[in-house]
A and B are shown apart, each in its own frame.
Chain A
Amino acid sequence: MRYIFILLVFINFSLGQDPNGQDLDPCSDPLIKLAETKGIKAIPLKDMVRFQRLMKACQRAGGTEQIKQLHRKDWDRDYKKARTMASWTSTHAMCVFVSFIYFFAGKALATVPS
C-alpha cells in the first residue's frame, strides 16, 4: 500500500503541468526557435521529448506551415553542407572505391595458378 501511495505521488508530480506555461504560444517556444535557427540537432537529447510535444502543439495551434518549414530548412542545411566533398575526403573516397573494385574484380576474375 505504501509503495502504491509513493508511486501515485510520483506520477502526480511527474505529470504535473506548469500553469504559467499554458497560455504561451508553443510556436514561439525557445526550443522551436532554436531548431529554426540552428537546426533540429541543436536540440539537446534531454529536451527531445518536449520538443516533439511542442511541435505537435504548434501544429494544433495552426503552425503546420512553420513546422514544415523547420523540417525543410533542416534537410536543406544538411544537404548543402554535405553534398560536395571537402579537401582530402574525395581522395580517401577514391582510394576506398578503387580497393573495393580491385577486391571484387579479383574475386570474380582471378584464377588459382596450377
Chain B
Amino acid sequence: MGESLVGQPKISVDLGIGFYEPTLSGFDDNQSVQFPTKGFFNRNMMINWGIYYEFFNNARIGYNSFTSYDIGKNILLLNSEAIFRRSLIYRMFPIETYFRWRPKIELNFTLAPIWGRGRIEMDTTPGDKTEDWNFFINSFGGNPDPVEDMGATDVMISDWIGYSSMLGFRYYISSRMAVDLKGGFMNNSYKNDKWRIQRQPVTGPTMKIDKLPIFSLKFVYGIR
C-alpha cells in the first residue's frame, strides 16, 4: 500500500457493447447458402470487454476485445441442415492516454494494433461433413472442393492485422466506477482467400471491414 496506489485505478476491467457497420457480402449476397438474415444484433453490435493497466502517468496499456456473433440453425447444405456459428473478433492491444478535464470527466485517446480473427463453425451430419463443407466453402468462390478430409474439429479460421484509433469520454460515477464512451475508426487488412480449415487454405466470405467507424459504450471498474 504505497504511494503507487494514489490516484487513478492502476488496474481496471471493463465490459460493454460496441457498434460498427461492416459489409458482409459473402454472407448476405450468397446464392448457394441461405445464411441468417442480417440484423442489428448479428451485424452492428459487438460484445466488448477489456483489461487495462496504468503503466505511466496518464497512460494505460491493455487488451480489448470486440466480438461480433452470428448463429443460425437449419442452414441447408448439400446433405444436412447445419447449425452455423460465426464470430469476428477484433482483439486490440491499446495504448491509451488520458487527462481529467473535470474532476469526474476524463478525455482519453486510444491507438491500438488489432489482431483480428474470423471463425466459422458448423455442426453437420458426421458422414457427410466433407461434402457439406465443400458445398459451404464453394459458395464463397475460389477453388472448388478444397477440403479433402475433415477431422474432429469443424471450424474454419482466418487471421488478419489492423489498427484502430479512438477518442473517448469517461464519466466517473465513483473513484472506482466509470462509464466510458468511445468513437473512432478501425482499419483491417482482411483478405477472403486467407482462410484455413484443417490446415488447408480455402477461400472464405467476402467482407468489407476496412475503414470502419466504430463506437463503444462500456462500464469500467477499477480493481486497485
Residues of A within 8 A of B (CB): 34, 38-42, 44-45, 71, 74-79, 81-87, 89-90, 92-93, 95-97, 99-100, 103-104, 107
Contact = CB atoms under 8 A, between A and B. Distances in A.
Nearest to B187: A103
B165 A41 contact: no
B6 A87 contact: no
B98 interface: yes
B103 A75 contact: yes
Contacts of B9: 41
Query: Secondary structure of the A side of the interface?
Result: helix
Given A40-B175, A41-B176, A96-B165, A79 B5 contact: no
A71 B172 CA distance: 13
B118 to A, nearest CB: 23
A88 B97 CA distance: 9
B1 interface: yes
A85 B58 contact: yes
**Closest 5 A/B residue pairs (Cβ):** A81-B7, A86-B57, A96-B109, A89-B97, A93-B109
Contact of B224 (A45, A89, A95, A97): A45
Interface in B65-120: 95, 97-104, 106, 109-111
Contact of A92 (B95, B103, B184): B95
A77 B103 CA distance: 9
Given A93-B109, A97-B109, A97-B167, A78 B99 contact: no
Interface residues of B, number: 38
A78 B175 contact: yes
B152 interface: no
B103 A96 contact: no
B224 A44 contact: yes
A81 B101 CA distance: 12
Contacts of B58: 82, 85-86, 89
B7 A39 contact: yes
Contact of A82 (B106, B109, B166, B176): B106
B185 interface: yes
B165 A34 contact: no
A92 B59 contact: yes
Contact of A78 (B100, B111, B166, B224): B100
Given A41-B176, A45-B223, A81-B6, 18 more contacts: A39-B6, A41-B7, A42-B5, A71-B175, A75-B104, A76-B103, A77-B7, A82-B7, A82-B99, A82-B106, A83-B101, A87-B56, A87-B57, A92-B97, A93-B109, A96-B167, A104-B185, A104-B213
